[in-house]
Amino acid sequence: MLASAQAYPSKPVRILCPFPPGGGVDITARAIANELSRQLGQPVTVENRPGAGGNIAAAEVAKAAPDGYTLFITLNALHAISPLVYSRLPFDAIRDFSFITPLVSFDNVLVVSPGAPRTVQELIAQAKAQPGKLTFASSGNGTNTHLIGELFKMKAGIDIVHVPYKGSAPALTDLLGGNVTMMFDTIPSAISQVKGGKLRAIGVTGAKRSPTLPEIPTIAESGLPGYEANAWYGLIGPAAMPKELVAKLNAETVKGASSKEFRERMEPIGFTVFTGSPEKMLDLIQADAARWAPVVKASGARAD
């Protein structure tokens, strides 16, 4: 263990990413890695460890030495939702980690395959006429893209089938191929396919229209009043990291996320940069757990 935060870092740092390259988590991991490399004066690399809705990578981080050389780009679902949908996890979602700072928040966008209905109203009508026929992809069981879809099912009173993948990128590939009907993907992950005309966006999940996709109505204004969902990513490490080290990483990460370069990379594709203390991060997780627990209970969503 480090004797002091001042000695850190003396070698390269790695950030584990729980999903494949190309999705929103990976984009965030690589963007903050670039900033931390400059801030810390050591290479900061990203290693992708996809699978089990992020739990494989999280378990590796939970077992890592608490020396600051293994960090993790996490998503709120892993700490707030996974404990609700998995009967057993290989880690404790709170006690096994040191929380450093939130990084970015974002809304999701409902994107549909080329042959799917063109509006939210038409999609709901078809789902009601053909229960169990339409499918929605997600980036894994217990992820935000899974629970946002479950919330949509509940609010609309429809039966659509969940199809989990090991990340957003492979899910989008199957969506593009018409193998699934829809996906509630993150705006940063889906925006290039939407802007390129390969996928059709029909609704955003936020309370207001997205500045990145201002022409796309919210799902709430498209016939489901009160529907709202968003998510966020942040930086964490293993439990038992020295408080001085957590404070140093918090300060350096917040500074990096506040840079012009980071904002110019993240904001045009739909992210909102927001940072804060480790305590703020824990408060966000507790609020998210309270928010999603009724959805998990009512939907019966399980990830085992």
Checking if the pLDDT of 258 tops 70, the result is yes
Q: Which of 261, 232, 264, 231 is nearest to 36 (CA)?
A: 261
Q: How confident is the model at residue 3 (pLDDT cuts 50, 70, 90)?
A: very low
Checking if the pLDDT of 210 tops 60, the result is yes
Which residues is 102 bridged to in the sheet? 234
99-110 residue pLDDT tens:
999 999 999 999
Q: Name the DSSP letter for residue 217.
A: P
Q: In Å, how far are 13, 21, 23 from 190, measured between CA atoms?
A: 29, 13, 8
d(CA 212, CA 15): 28
Identify whether 164 is preceded by a cis peptide bond (ω within 30 of 0): no
Q: Which domains does the chain have, with CATH numbers?
A: 5-105+231-299 (3.40.190.150), 107-222 (3.40.190.10)
Q: How many residues does the chain have?
A: 304
155-203 residue pLDDT tens:
999 999 999 998 888 999 999 999 999 999 999 989 999 999 999 999 9
Count of alpha carbons within 13 angstroms of residue 303, beta-carbon side: 30
Checking if the pLDDT of 13 tops 50, the result is yes
**Count of other CB atoms within 10 angstroms of residue 226:** 8
Question: What is the rounded average pLDDT of the residues 133-161?
Answer: 94
Q: What pLDDT score does 171 carry?
A: 95
Least-confidence region, from 5-9, 199-203, 223-227, 278-282: 5-9
Q: What pLDDT score does 6 carry?
A: 65
Q: How confident is the model at residue 95 (pLDDT cuts 50, 70, 90)?
A: very high
16-59 residue pLDDT tens:
999 999 888 999 999 999 999 999 999 999 999 998 889 999 99
Kindly calculate the radius of gyration of the chain based on its CA atoms and give it in whole angstroms: 19
Checking if the pLDDT of 289 tops 90, the result is yes
Q: Where are the alpha helices (DSSP H) in 142-242?
A: 144-156, 168-176, 187-195
Residue 212 CB burial class (10 angstroms; 0-12, 13-18, ≥19): buried
